[in-house]
Structure 1
Amino acid sequence: MISPAPDLQELTRLRALAEHSHAVITQYQDAGGAYPASPTFSAYKGYAWLRDGSFTAEGISRYGDVASAGRFHDWVDGVLRRRRGQVDDLRAALARGEVPSNEAMLPTRFTFDGEDGSDPWWDFQTDGYGMWLWSVVTHAARHGLDLARWREGIDVAVDYLVAFWDRPCYDWWEEHVEHRHVSTLGAIHGGLVAVGTCSSLRSAPWSAAALKVAADIRSLVTAEGIVDGHLVKWLGSSAVDGSLPACIVPFGLVSPDDSLAAMTRAAVAKDLDFDGGVHRFTADVFYGGGQWILLSALLGWNLAAAGDTAGALKHLRWIADQVDEHGDLPEQVPHHLLHPGSRNEWVARWGPVASPLLWSHGMYLILADELGFTIADYLESKDA
């Protein structure tokens, strides 16, 4: 039982935002299946990230729109199949004892036709490949779909991660390429466990290797990624990051009822949660270091999984309060800036904060579904 429970008016508002979130995501989904990060923001326009898209697809899948999520997974599968030769070349170089450059690695974002971007970016990030493996397996299991449809792309992603999982790379926020980030390792773990334990993929030639890498990640994080009883931002750090709860739910590096999970949730809440809105990290200067919609949903998701439905609902309500005049959710809001003096610099560089951000809407759908506010309405509307 959620306490305090929403009254009819609030329930209507929360469900209306779920409906609008689905409409925003599907309205802007490219004909080829990609989910754009944001349709208007200057630095994101025309690009799709595996990280953003994998969570967005999970929200859409939970909402019951099997076709839209399937088109996204079709798009990723096609992008990865076309990268088969690149991954084989990278693995061959590694086998020869060479260290491929960051520029030679797979990118973190793609144009809608699956190509590299034409402008410079902080591209070498491995988390999205693990996230996509988790997302596609979860979607298929939820809706009884045959993973053979995406098998070639899955093979490419697994081969890439098994070879390069322990290499330092940029984090979720496209910073600090010199470190091994715990949230990145958690995402890879989640993806490799998802495929490695999937009954329809057990005969894959990489199955044992995927599970071994997942075990190696757990050992590495246990040895170097815990300080004062909680997970940390990167190996050797003592700071926390708003992305760390993903190592618990959904990526399963830590069980939700483990003391490490409880301490991590508490550390993130203590350092980064202000009245329901969650910051990325304490040193964040991007647009002044505001509160991120998707991170509030992520912490709420974790609270719900740990049985704290009241805490989860607090985050859902906070998110619903952040909609703009169009009902859209932005990337972040400026109500509680950590470094307000830096905000104008980013506005001058890239314009207003990204809105709508499809990842924000996708995470709202996930948390709303976790609390029981979405899928029945969508299915009823389809049957009407």
Structure 2
Amino acid sequence: MITSAPGLSELIPPQELAQLRALAQHSHAVITEHQDSGGAYPAAPTFSAYRGYAWLRDGSFTAEGISRYGDVASAERFHDWVDRVLRGRRAQVDELRAAVARGETPPVESMLPTRFTFDGQDGSDPWWDFQTDGYGMWLWAVVTHARRHGLDLERWRGGIDVAVDYLVAFWDRACYDWWEEHVEHRHVSTLGAIHAGLVAVGTPEGLEVAASIRSLVDAEGVVDGHLTKWLGSAAVDGSLPACVVPFGLVAPGTALAVGTLAAVARDLDADGGVHRFTADVFYGGGQWILLSALLGWNLAAAGDTAGALRHLRWIAEQADEQGDLPEQVPHHLLHPGSRDEWIARWGTVATPLLWSHGMYLILADELGIMTQRGNA
């Protein structure tokens, strides 16, 4: 864990540093308080559409923040939960692979879900469920956690093998993106997540797929020197920095990495808060805490401490009186006319969102804000 960053003491007054560390402590408390007894991290404990469900995508980043904080036990409970859930899907994945071997294309409805109930079952209400990114993210997260803390990866081998088999079979199939939209496209951030997971595990088949992903994105996912929202598009997306750090689809510091971060900052960053994409109408298209942290994480990794700190400070300013972080904030809406529609449908914006708190922990760690287990 990082305990200092060049020039940080000059950039942050002691009182502010104490406040930033206090938010890290609160973030840890929020995440662990709401962690299910079986290990799942709920996306948001009170939000109508998320309550009672856990996503591999949200949970993997949340577990990474918790792992960096030093709470090995909480992160392990999450990874144990995913491992149990995926072991329970072994027969389903084998049947899906057998269908492909027979020359069939399994319908979307038969694919693994993106979110699970806390006991590992499919949801009972309709959802945009076919998303492969979370399976790659979990592979990356569990391997990263094991390496950080010197743990035996064999503990989770059963679930790892299921996820690898699933991704090797279906990595190139169009599916919903991080935002659960556009099932007709192949999304670059999804491909980046799959790449990261398969490289982390390092099986021969997985590494071959990872090489194919790099070739495909180079050929169809780059326009004007930056990664694109999906293959064949020219748009950018706030999730694209993940393809640099932490997923490594694009090497940090390369022209493509620099161009991608610059394009996201140019099109989607407003005063430190990052939008998902320019056409976003969800709750009016606000600024997302987790995306601000993701861009800040990349800036910190590139050595831009001041730029990363700008995002951390912006995030801290969005905490409510209890210190809880929402999914998004409405200060700079892209499409304000659509906000009331979503409030009427699902209620006010999800608060707290555990993924937001997990990403705050990651960025705070990158900047050296946290000491071991978040203590000042």
Identify the TM-score tier after normalising by the shorter chain.
over 0.9
After superposition, the C-alpha distances for 1:153-178 in whole angstroms (9 at most, x for unaligned) are 00000000000000000000000000
Q: Is the 8 A contact 1:276 1:318 kept in 2?
A: yes
Q: TM-score, normalised by structure 2?
A: 0.97
The offset of 1:38, in angstroms, is: 0.1
Give the aligned partner of residue 76 of structure 1: 82
Higher relative contact order (CA 8 A, sep 6+): 2
Cα distance in 1 for residues equivalent to 2:321 and 2:307: 27
Give the aligned partner of residue 200 of structure 1: none
Is the partner of 1:110 in helix, strand or coil?
strand
2:237 pairs, out of 238, 241, 253, with 241
Cα distance in 1 for residues equivalent to 2:73 and 2:373: 17
Is the partner of 2:11 in helix, strand or coil?
coil
Give the aligned partner of residue 270 of structure 1: 266
Cα distance in 2 for residues equivalent to 1:150 and 1:237: 37
Query: Do structure 1's residue 348 and structure 2's residue 344 form an aligned pair?
Result: yes
After superposition, the C-alpha distances for 1:176-225 in whole angstroms (9 at most, x for unaligned) are 000000000000000000000xxxxxxxxxx1100000000000000000
Q: Quote the RMSD (CA, aligned, Å).
A: 0.9
Give the aligned partner of residue 50 of structure 1: 56
Q: TM-score, normalised by structure 1?
A: 0.95
The offset of 1:325, in angstroms, is: 1.4
2:122 pairs, out of 103, 116, 140, with 116
The residue identity in structure 1 corresponding to 2:297 is: W
Paired positions, count: 370
Cα distance in 1 for residues equivalent to 2:305 and 2:108: 42
Give the aligned partner of residue 201 of structure 1: none
Give the aligned partner of residue 199 of structure 1: none
Q: Is the 8 A contact 1:64 1:375 kept in 2?
A: no
The offset of 1:68, in angstroms, is: 0.1
Cα distance in 1 for residues equivalent to 2:141 and 2:243: 14
Is the partner of 2:79 in helix, strand or coil?
helix
The residue identity in structure 2 corresponding to 1:294 is: L
For residues 1-384 of structure 1, the aligned pairs below 5 Å read 1-2=6-7, 5-196=11-202, 207-376=203-372, 378=374
Cα distance in 2 for residues equivalent to 1:255 and 1:216: 16
The offset of 1:305, in angstroms, is: 0.8
User: Structure 2: which 5+ residue stretches go unaligned?
Assistant: 1-5
Is the partner of 2:54 in helix, strand or coil?
strand
The residue identity in structure 2 corresponding to 1:298 is: L
The offset of 1:377, in angstroms, is: 5.1
Q: 1:377 to 1:127 in 2, by over 3 A?
A: closer
Is the partner of 2:277 in helix, strand or coil?
coil
